């Protein structure tokens, strides 16, 4: 049963901070790699890494979601509006991540090929499921990536505002130092 806790547990914290770094990296690499020329040494490597890390992040995010529901989380702090806003943005970030994983998969597998994760295992491709699949999914992927990064930016600013202005435990509980 869930009991009152002051901090996010160490696994939830580690997964949160690993995901944050990976998401920011994936965003930067994504924007950079689509403009690479065929003659760049990164032309094949960068998408291979982007897709491989994306699949691993998808696995980590599924684990994270389950973990969140089987373990206790500390209460969100702030006014009623802030609490509702924070929960809405947390949920919306999970949804944006899911949209990124699905659209990323659809861009990569239209031609029937699977996604080779670091030459370690291959996620099978489903081929073309609808017309213009890679283009449509690519557009969705692009907007979902921007939506996620903008929400994460607002989310980070809110965390800093709670820490430095309200001086509450919001940020501390994500580093395990709640008072």
Question: Is residue 115 within 8 Å of 125, Cβ to Cβ?
Answer: yes
Task: Measure the N-to-C terminal CA separation of the chain; round to a whole number of Å.
Answer: 23
Window 15-34: contact mask with ligand HEM (x via CB under 6 A):
-x--xx--xx-xx--xx--x
Candidate ranges 37-45, 102-110, 125-133; the one touching ligand HEM (CB under 6 A): 102-110
Cβ closest to ligand HEM, residue 133 vs residue 170? 170
Cα distance between residue 29 and residue 18, in whole Å: 16
Count of positions on this chain that bind ligand HEM (CB under 6 A): 45
The pair phi, psi for residue 121, each rounded to 5°, is: -150, 165
Instruction: Specify the DSSP class assigned to residue 7.
Output: S
- Please report whether residue 107 would count as binding ligand HEM according to CB under 6 A: yes
Cα distance between residue 76 and residue 87, in whole Å: 8
Q: Which two tokens stand for residue 36?
A: 């690479």
Interacting residues toward ligand HEM by CB under 6 A: 12, 16, 19-20, 23-24, 26-27, 30-31, 34, 47, 50-51, 54-55, 57-58, 68, 76-77, 86, 90, 93-94, 100-101, 104-105, 107-108, 115, 138, 141-142, 145, 148, 152, 155-156, 159-160, 170-171, 174
């Amino acid at each position: 049963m869930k009991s009152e806790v002051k901090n996010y547990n160490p696994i939830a914290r580690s997964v949160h901070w690993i995901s944050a770094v990976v998401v920011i990296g994936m965003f930067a690499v994504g924007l950079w790699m689509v403009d690479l020329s065929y003659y760049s040494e990164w032309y094949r490597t960068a998408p291979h890494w982007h897709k491989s890390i994306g699949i691993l992040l998808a696995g980590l995010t599924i684990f994270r979601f389950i973990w969140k529901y089987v373990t206790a989380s500390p209460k969100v702090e702030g006014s009623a509006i802030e609490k509702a806003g924070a929960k809405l943005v947390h949920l919306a970030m999970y949804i944006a991540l899911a949209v990124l994983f699905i659209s990323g998969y659809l861009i990569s597998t239209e031609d029937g090929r699977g996604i080779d994760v670091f030459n370690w295992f291959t996620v099978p491709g489903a081929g073309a499921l609808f017309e213009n699949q890679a283009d449509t999914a690519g557009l969705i992927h692009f907007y979902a990536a921007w939506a996620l990064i903008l929400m994460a930016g607002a989310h980070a600013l809110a965390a800093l505002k709670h820490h430095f202005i309200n001086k509450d435990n919001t940020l501390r509980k994500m580093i395990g130092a709640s008072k």
